[in-house]
Amino acid sequence: MHYSVPKPTALVLGYPSNPTAEVVGLDFYAEVVDFCRRHRIWLLSDLAYAEIYFDGAPPPSVLQVPGARDIAVEFTSMSKTYSMAGWRIGFAVGNKQLIGALTRVKSYLDYGAFTPIQAAACAALNGPQDCIDQVRQMYKSRRDVMVDSFGRAGWDIPVPRASMFAWRRCRRPSSIWALEFSKQLLTNAQVAVAPGVGFGELGEGYVRIALVENEHRIRQAARNIKRWFQQAGVNTPAQSAAE
């Protein structure tokens, strides 16, 4: 058991994950809930990407675990599910004490979101939900195109199971760090990725790829990457196998 001073007040989780696109199951959440209850730590779960999942069942909620509501609260956002990014509106459910504290803090900090945004959020939640499937299928199609085209370009991408991101080690045999690799990728292939170190020191050596462009642009990015790899002499079968 690791210790910290002062003792942690809360544990924050976010699955499906940004930046790694990792997903977890109820067994994982059950262990976390047990840990937090034993150590009297609040659990804050971010479920913003709950509706952007592929090839299986929806990601679970920590509140499905028996006893989770004793110590947990879960947040979600309109940004991803309903393409309302930047509107900054969402909601939280869970432990009554935590929700009460959030209500008090919010009342001190602001007076509510812009009324038309609230009306749009109500319309999104109460209206037809077929748009959610459409958004999910759009990202799944982009994911499949990215994995296929980048792989044929010589850069295999682990298949994301959820979210709108992919998480990948920097292309070998280059020994450069993630930030420098990202700079070179932008300069030489006109492809922008986020260096993993920007998400914390354990992200060094990785980059995050976002599925924010259409399929045509993703294929163009793959062609540019392939051209750069070939010019750099790192796109041989032997070197690809060394990744």
Segment 30-66, tens digit of pLDDT: 999 999 999 999 999 999 999 999 988 899 999 999 9
Residue pair 199/208 in contact by the 8 Å Cβ criterion: yes
Please report whether residue 51 resides in a domain. Answer: yes
Which of residues 84, 108, 126 is at a domain's end?
126
Which of residues 99, 126, 153 is at a domain's end?
126
Q: Does residue 222 surpass a pLDDT of 80?
A: yes
5 vs 151, more confident: 151
What pLDDT shows up at residue 2? Answer: 60
Residue pair 230/188 in contact by the 8 Å Cβ criterion: no
Q: Does residue 236 surpass a pLDDT of 50?
A: no
| Total count of domains within the chain | 2
Q: Does residue 173 surpass a pLDDT of 90?
A: no
65 shares a domain with 173: no
193-209: pLDDT as tens digits = 999 999 998 999 999 99
**What percentage of residues in the chain have a pLDDT greater than 70?**
92
182 shares a domain with 103: no
169 shares a domain with 115: no
pLDDT band at 81 (very low <50, low <70, confident <90, very high): very high
Please report whether residue 5 resides in a domain. Answer: no
CATH code of the domain containing 109: 3.40.640.10
Q: Which domain range does residue 204 map to?
A: 130-241
DSSP states of the chain: ----SSPPSEEEEESS-TTT-----HHHHHHHHHHHHHHT-EEEEE-TTTT-B-SSSPPPPGGGSTTGGGTEEEEEEHHHHTT-TTS--EEEEE-HHHHHHHHHHHHHH-S-S-HHHHHHHHHHHHS--HHHHHHHHHHHHHHHHHHHHHHHTT------SBSSEEEEEPPTT----HHHHHHHHHHHH----EEGGGG-GGGTTEEEEE--S-HHHHHHHHHHHHHHHHHHT--SHHHHHT-
Which of residues 111, 126, 141 is at a domain's end?
126
135 shares a domain with 122: no
